[in-house]
Each structure stands twice: as structure tokens, then as C-alpha cells.
Amino acid sequence: MAGRFHFYEGHTLQQVTFPIRIFKLLGVEVLIVTNANGAINEDFKVGTIGIINDHISLPGFAGNNPLFGQNINAFGTRFPAMSDAYDYNLREIAFKAADSLKFPKGTLKEAIYTFCPGPTFETRAEARFLKSLGGDLVGMSTVPEVIVARHCGIRVLGLSLVTCMVSLEKVKCADPAEQNLNYVEEQQVSHEDVLQVGEERSLDLQKLVGTIVDLIAYT
């Protein structure tokens, strides 16, 4: 599927995840989801491909979950577990694929992905909060689709390209008594920068996904 529906575009989470239901009815057994993200863990760098091994859904804490409402028993149970939402064997295959492509060490790194609805990028305080929760990466998609995929028994692999570093530095203090003379102004994140990095790494992602699919087929 090329592209996706986003929650911030005004769609309901049920609409956002409707294609996943269709995939299930078509017999899909494995879902590979990709996204662009900002890194809130300084161990990640722009261009790193995060292999998602867990997620934090901020909208879920606020009562937004794609499974709210009447459960469709034909797809799955009322209360599905999400403790192992991202398939271990698929994550292993992703690293094997990167190795076979001779990607430099560190190109892939396992990560906890934090879902925020957008469309605004995170404030500095929000970014520090998300990091304190254990998040490595933050983005505006993917988690709703993963929840619905797991609800209906589809195995999931999540690939998340770091396109920017999220600012964690506190805002510049206007109080002369509190000013930090060593404060360095950080560049604002822009959508254009995100798109540029995505374009630069698109070929590597295509190769990685293609190799993963080949390895899955022979596993």
C-alpha cells in the first residue's frame, strides 16, 4: 500500500486502520510498516533505521484506540495483548537482511516508538517527557495500524527512519538571573528536512524491505 491515512488529517482511527482489515480478508499474514520519525534518544542519528520492538501510544492514554466500540469477533478477541506486538522472528530477519546488504554497523537499531497524533511537532518539554517514558523515536502514525493488525492475527515488522533529531534542550530563559550564557539555539525541525532525508534513504529502505520479503519467503 502506497501511503496511509493519518489521524491528524481528520480521519477516525477506525478509518485510518480500515486497510488493515482489508489486508486480513485478503489473506495477508505479515505486515511491514514503515514511517519517518524524530529521534528523542541521542544514541540514534539521522539516517538510522529503527527496528520497532515496542511502542507507547499517547492517544491511547487519552481514550483514542482503533478498537474502541463494538468488537468484531470475526477479526479477534475483545482484549488483545500488545506485549509482543512486533514479531521477534521478523526483527531477526531484518538484521539478517541488513547484514546481507552489507549496511554499515549501526544502520539498524532496535527502538521503542512513541505515537503522538500531530500535526504539530513536539515541544521541547514534550520531547523530554517522552524520553523519560522510555521512548527512543516519536512519530505521527503506525501504532493504530499495528494495534489492528495484531488484533486480527497479522504478524508485524516496523521500520522507522530517523529523519531529524528532536530538540531536548530547555527553551532559552528570558530572566537575566537565570540565563545560561552557554545556551546554543537549535535549528527548528521542518517538514522539508524530513522529506529530504526520506528521499536520500529511500533506496536503502527499498533494498532492505525487498531483501526482508525474500528472506521471509524462504523461512
Which residues form the domain of 142?
31-167+186-217
More confident residue, 9 or 188: 9
Residue at 176 is within a domain: no
pLDDT, tens digit (0-9, with 9 covering 90-100), for 59-114: 999 999 999 999 999 999 999 999 999 999 999 999 999 999 999 999 999 999 99
Residue at 14 is within a domain: no
Whole-number Å distance between alpha carbons of 47 and 107: 8
Band of pLDDT at residue 210, cut at 50, 70 and 90: very high
CB 113 within 8 A of CB 52: yes
Residue at 180 is within a domain: no
Residue at 104 is within a domain: yes
Band of pLDDT at residue 194, cut at 50, 70 and 90: low
Provide the percentage of residues in the chain whose pLDDT is more than 90: 79
pLDDT at 198 over 70: no
pLDDT of residue 188: 64
Average pLDDT on 128-148 reads: 98
> What CATH number is associated with residue 134?
3.40.50.1580
pLDDT of residue 44: 96
Whole-number Å distance between alpha carbons of 8 and 139: 12
Residue at 54 is within a domain: yes
pLDDT at 196 over 90: no
Residue with cell 542519528: 45
Residue at 179 is within a domain: no
Residue at 35 is within a domain: yes
Structural domain total, the chain: 1
For residue 33, give the H/E element and its range. strand 30-39
pLDDT of residue 197: 67
Residue at 5 is within a domain: no
pLDDT at 190 over 70: no
CB 170 within 8 A of CB 80: no
For 1-15, 87-101, 139-153, 205-219, which range has the lowest pLDDT when averaged over its residues? 1-15
